[in-house]
Structures are given as C-alpha cells and as structure tokens.
Structure 1
Amino acid sequence: MENSHWPKWAVESIEVVPPNPDWIEAGRAEVRELIQRLSPYGVKEVDHVGSTSIRDLPAKPIIDVMAMIQSFDEVEELAGKLAEDDWHYVPVELDNRPWRRFFIKVENDRRVAHLHLMLEGEPRWEQQRLFRDRLNGNPALRKEYAELKKSLANQFPDDREAYSDGKAAFIERVLGE
C-alpha cells in the first residue's frame, strides 16, 4: 500500500515503551478536558482505558480514552469541535469498526491520544473497563501481557492491525476469567 500521502502520525511504527507513572494523570487530564468539551453533545461519561491506564505496564505512549454518547448523529459537528484541539477524525470506512467513532490526537506529528466514541449500551465499554481492572489487580497477568505486547511490537512494528489481532486471544481469556 502506498503511504506517502498519509501524515506521519498515521503510519508511525508501533513502539512499546517502559511504564510511565505520568500516564495515569495524563489520562485524568484528558478525561476532564473531553468531558468539558463534549458535554454539549450529550457525552456524560469519559474513561481512561487501554494500556496507559494499567499501572506498571509497558505501552505505546498513547493515552486511550473512551466516551459514551447517545447517537452518532452529530459526529461531524463534534469532529469539528475536537479538531480545534488537534483531534483527527478517522472515518468509519477507514477505521473498519462500526461500533465506534475514532479520533486521534496529534502533537508534533505523533499520536498522543486516542478517543473511542461509543454508543450507550455498547458491550465493549464494560469489556474495556473489566480488562483494565483485572490487569491492575493481577501482577502475573500484567507481566504476561507486557511480554506479549513487546513481542508483537517487534514482530509487527508497521502493522497496527496485526499487532491488535495478536492481542485478541489474551484479551478474550482475561475477559472470560
């Protein structure tokens, strides 16, 4: 696939870095900012999820947050509002995940945050929280996940889909426990 016309942040390699205690506070700050910015669109809940929300876990240095919304009807208007803060809307046909609307926050040509906008009642909302909470409460699972992430990042540095797919069985196992 020809990537020369894509912005740098859209094709940056996957880099898993050592845990950073500042990620938790960065997540809180992003949550506060997004609640304030998105509440006019009916967003009442925003939560920090993903690897940066798990203590002592190596991760891609990107804060993942999810926000709950009643409908996707105003997503274009909402995208315009978020663009003021360097959030880039990834159209659903590019994202290939119809259950969410996806935004990437960019600073200095690098991804710094992801926003997963989900409809109220979307099962992945509770699954994301459950996964985070189970890893936060279980050092052995956290260590196993850290090794898996590092291995996948080395194996698929330029293939985000393969990297994500490689984590699926582990995530399903954790959610099933």
Structure 2
Amino acid sequence: MSLTSPIKPYDPTWPQQYAEEEARLKLIFGLVLIEIHHVGSTAVPDLAAKGEIDVLAVVKSDRGLENWSRSLVELGYRRGGDLSLGHHFFKRDLNGIRTHKLHVCLDGHRQIGPMLKFRDHLRRDGGDRSRYQELKLRLERENASGIQQYLAAKDPFIQDILAKLD
C-alpha cells in the first residue's frame, strides 16, 4: 500500500514552499502564535522525503481552534485527529496527494522539543541523515498497510536518536 505521497530526492524548493505557507499561516494565528517552524524531513537539506511540508505552530492558547479551523479550510486544509491533548493536526492535499501537514501545539507541549531536536540533529549529522534516508526508502518499498505501518517502523530509529541527544 502506498504512503500519503511517495518519497523522492530532496527538493531545494521545499524551504521556499515552507516560507510561503508560513506567511499564510501567520495571518490565521495572529498574536496567539509564539513561533512557527519547518519540521519533518522536508526541513532537512539532502534528505529524501515525502514531498509534504511539515509545519509546527506553537501557540499560547487553543481557544481559537474553531476559528482557525474555518480559516484553514479556506487555505485547503482539513482537520485531522488530535494527536494528543494540546496537539492539533491539519492536512492539505492537492489532486489527491498530501502537500502539507500542520501541527498546532500549545506552548510547552511534550512533542515540540523532540520534533525540533530530531530535525536539528539530522541537519548536522550526515551519517544519521543517510541511515534515516535508507530506512525510510526501505520501509516505503516494504510497506504493506499504509502510513501507520511506516510511521511505527520509523519510530524506534527516531527514539534511539532522541535518547542519545538527552
């Protein structure tokens, strides 16, 4: 079974795609936005990835969630399930292919640090970046049941890296 989109070689336009999306998203969150980041594999130069731009928006409060959801629909997003309390998820597809994933986390959420640490580590460490890329490509080839299988199979590698960084 295929993933939400195929893994392809690093595309040097991904940072610009992120920057364009960041500008659109900042308008939606306004003053409640603390910071916004390009995360995930498209944020790591020279790393093959599904061409899905991952965005992490850190907010002071999620009391505006219903309003954000309506505004995000106007930008082509749809609501995904919450990944945990205080971690809201949105996704955007174009012609049936996922193009963007948006993680909206309350300030201090336990997922913020690991997302940024893993991204920053892969930006610095070419060996781990190569090993991660090889793992992702192998998992894509072997995938039989879709994105959840792929994500679960990547997690031990990610957790091992994060444990070494602490």
When normalised by structure 2's length, the TM-score is 0.90
Which of 55, 58, 62 is equivalent to 1:65? 55
- The residue number in structure 1 matching 2:89 is 102
CA RMSD of aligned residues (A): 1.8
Q: Percent identity?
A: 28
Report 1:156-167 matches (<5 A).
Answer: 156=143, 158-167=145-154
Query: In the alignment, is the contact (CA less than 8 A) between 1:135 and 1:142 conserved in 2?
Result: yes
Q: Confirm or deny that 1:22 pairs with 2:13.
A: yes
Which of 53, 58, 67 is equivalent to 2:43? 53
In the TM superposition, what is the alpha-carbon distance from 1:169 to its structure 2 partner?
1.1
In the TM superposition, what is the alpha-carbon distance from 1:127 to its structure 2 partner?
1.1
1:157–1:78 Cα change, 3 Å? farther
Q: Confirm or deny that 1:34 pairs with 2:25.
A: yes
Residues 70-103 of structure 1 show CA distances to partners (whole Å, capped at 9, x for unaligned) of 23332122100111110111133xxx54441110
Letter in 1 for 2:58: M
1:110–1:157 Cα change, 3 Å? farther
Count of aligned pairs: 163
- Whole-angstrom CA distance in 1 between matches of 2:62 and 2:81: 12
1:144–1:12 Cα change, 3 Å? closer
> Helix, strand or coil: the match of 2:92?
strand
Which of 146, 150, 154 is equivalent to 2:133? 146
Letter in 2 for 1:57: L
Query: In the alignment, is the contact (CA less than 8 A) between 1:14 and 1:157 conserved in 2?
Result: no
Query: In the alignment, is the contact (CA less than 8 A) between 2:3 and 2:146 conserved in 1?
Result: no
Could you list the structure 1 runs, at least 4 aligned residues long, displaced by more than 6 angstroms after superposition: none
Letter in 2 for 1:100: H
Q: Confirm or deny that 1:135 pairs with 2:125.
A: no
When normalised by structure 1's length, the TM-score is 0.85
1:98–1:156 Cα change, 3 Å? farther
Structure 2: segments with no counterpart, 5+ residues: none
Structure with more of its chain in strand, by fraction: 2
Query: In the alignment, is the contact (CA less than 8 A) between 1:14 and 1:158 conserved in 2?
Result: no
Letter in 2 for 1:17: K
> Helix, strand or coil: the match of 1:123?
coil
